[in-house]
Amino acid sequence: MPLKKLALMVPLVIALGVTGNALAQTSPPKSDDKAPMAGANSFTEGQAKSRIEGAGFTQVTGLKKDDQGVWRGSAMKDGKQATVSVDFRGNVVSP
């Protein structure tokens, strides 16, 4: 009888152990949650412009990297002028 209980308990303990680890993990925040984020930006001006264009903007001008490592400039989207920024993760943001 004790062997049967043990045979039933082992899978249960293993399952709880695996589930407990999964529940303890928290998923990282989405990269866009707090964009643009300050950080050491290794994008060149050309790469930042390409990111902005990839997000549907055209006529990207005036790109300058600020003291927080965020590329900022102006661009057009849907016929409207917009300010744009690209952070060190490549997030493109336009307020």
User: Around Cβ 85, how many Cβ atoms within 10 Å?
Assistant: 20
Residues in the chain: 95
Secondary element (H or E) of residue 15: helix 2-24
| Residue predicted with more confidence, 23 or 87 | 87
Model-wide pTM > 0.75? no
CA–CA gap between residue 55 and residue 38 (Å, rounded): 20
| Residue predicted with more confidence, 75 or 31 | 75
